[in-house]
């Protein structure tokens, strides 16, 4: 068995970008619902059609904004990263024989 090897590694928290994207898309849909509820009804355009159009328009915008927030949170997490000493407990992959 080989001796323990110490390495310096950076530890930081990073956001799950998919969660931010999904939350932004859902918030875009909620904004579309609110806009339909507060706007006066147009007799030529049915409410479900207007709602579908606004959701198709605002959900991607919300997802983009959610992705931008995730990038800002990730950059803030990078600044708070710290370096720690880590020790490898298992076998060293460099010592294994080649097949």
Q: Please check whether residue 74 lies inside any domain of the structure.
A: yes
How far, in Å, CA of 24 to CA of 71, rounded? 13
Residue 35: closest CA among 2, 57, 3, 9: 57
Q: Please check whether residue 73 lies inside any domain of the structure.
A: yes
Find the domain containing 82 and state its range.
16-88
Q: Please check whether residue 50 lies inside any domain of the structure.
A: yes
pTM over 0.85: no
Q: Please check whether residue 96 lies inside any domain of the structure.
A: no
Q: What share of the chain is helix, strand, coil (3-state, %, to 5)?
A: 60, 15, 25
Q: Is the pLDDT of residue 4 over 80?
A: no
How far, in Å, CA of 90 to CA of 99, rounded? 20
Number of domains observed in the structure of the chain:
1
Residues 67 and 17 sit within 8 Å (Cβ to Cβ): yes
The predicted-structure confidence for 56-78, as pLDDT tens digits, reads as follows 999 999 999 999 999 999 998 88
How far, in Å, CA of 42 to CA of 77, rounded? 47
Q: Please check whether residue 23 lies inside any domain of the structure.
A: yes
- Cross-strand pairs, 5: 88
């Amino acid at each position: 068995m080989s001796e323990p090897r110490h390495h310096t590694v950076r530890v930081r928290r990073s956001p799950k970008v998919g969660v931010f994207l999904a939350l932004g898309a859902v918030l875009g849909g909620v904004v579309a619902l609110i806009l339909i509820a507060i706007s006066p009804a147009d007799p030529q355009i049915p409410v479900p059609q207007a709602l579908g159009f606004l959701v198709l328009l605002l959900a991607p915008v919300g997802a983009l904004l959610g992705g931008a927030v995730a990038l800002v949170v990730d950059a803030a997490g990078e600044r708070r990263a710290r370096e720690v000493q880590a020790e490898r407990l298992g076998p060293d992959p460099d010592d294994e024989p080649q097949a």
